[in-house]
Structure 1
């Protein structure tokens, strides 16, 4: 199931505390598809539906996703990067596919 790295957990906890939103969950969702594979999104929220959502707890944080997206996110790992291209949270999913160079010509990835 979805997991969060130690680095991402520290950063997310700090962000939640800084914004006074310690009780919120991190929602992970499928935002669409491209030739480079699945595109993901994340948001902070407290609107969790027991009927439609699946909640995972990891490192003291709640991660929520729509039950329909759960299979596609089964191998997802949430990480936090800080490098020359910028910093922020990313979702790495070995189950999410990669660049389809036959459809994008190799230039989109």
Structure 2
């Protein structure tokens, strides 16, 4: 069974999306051509601080996924990423260099300058990782 949270549910704060982030996500999802698609938010090893955020449009719901509906957007988080993303907010940020999605993560104890890579509990980057600062897919 895939855990699902809905507004007002006890787990509704697993992850949220800002109003501006929701507006941008809804526009992207509407143009994706994928029925019942959501924004998959995940963590992978790498980046200058040890972990990187990733995002993708996904119409799959896999075993162990947690589904959160916030501001009309379906957010999908895999079981392995959930612990590192719990309490995070997805946002969309525009600046002079362009715009893109970002994650405001209360679990990150440090991050690199680009904001796509982070570390928790002062841990060092995994062996062989951390050479570059990279971003996600959405």
Give TM-score scaled by structure 2 length: 0.65
**1:26·1:44 contact (CA, 8 Å) conserved in 2?**
yes
C-alpha root-mean-square deviation of aligned residues, in Å? 2.5
Where do 5+ consecutive residues of structure 2 fail to align?
Answer: 1-13, 112-118, 126-131, 134-138
Q: Does residue 2 in structure 1 map to residue 6 in structure 2? A: no
Where do 5+ consecutive residues of structure 1 fail to align?
Answer: none
How far apart are the structure 1 equivalents of 2:83 and 2:104?
A: 15
5 Å matches for 1:24-39? 24-39=37-52
How far apart are the structure 2 equivalents of 1:33 and 1:96?
A: 14
Tell me what 1:20 maps to: 33
Write 1 or 2 for the structure with the bigger share of helix: 1
5 Å matches for 1:36-47? 36-47=49-60
Write 1 or 2 for the structure with the bigger share of strand: 1
Q: Which moved more, 1:8-17 or 1:32-41?
A: 32-41
Tell me what 1:52 maps to: 64
Q: Does residue 88 in structure 1 map to residue 85 in structure 2? A: no
Moved beyond 3 Å, runs of 4+ = 19-22
Give TM-score scaled by structure 1 length: 0.80
**1:37·1:98 contact (CA, 8 Å) conserved in 2?**
no
